Amino acid sequence: MLKRVLHDWPDDVCEGILRRCRDGVAKGGRVVVVDTVIPTGNHPNPSKTVDLLMMILDGRERTEADFRELFARAGLKLTRIVVTPSLLSIVEGEPA
């Protein structure tokens, strides 16, 4: 499980982190990421403000499509996203 880790890093570094997690997952296991998932559309959302702040630090918040692509690049299949009452969501993947 990674909580608030991936948003600190650009995609290439995150791909490496996720790839190592995938390599360490037991058969039938999952990789769980707890992070902000930016909603689609042009509606105001606090996660979009956090995204701007993270860009200053070479990180970023990601959309579902961004996570799906990032997981795929690391050899993972995104299986589900669980939205919580907070800004954080639970993003789950399994080895592809």
pLDDT in tens, 51-78: 667 677 677 889 999 999 999 999 999 9
What is d(CA 68, CA 62) in angstroms, rounded to the nearest whole number?
A: 10
pTM of the model: 0.88
What is d(CA 30, CA 17) in angstroms, rounded to the nearest whole number?
A: 14
Q: Which of 1, 3, 7, 49 is catalytic?
A: 7
Q: Quote the mean pLDDT of the chain.
A: 91
Domain ranges of the chain: 1-24+45-85
Active site residue 43: no
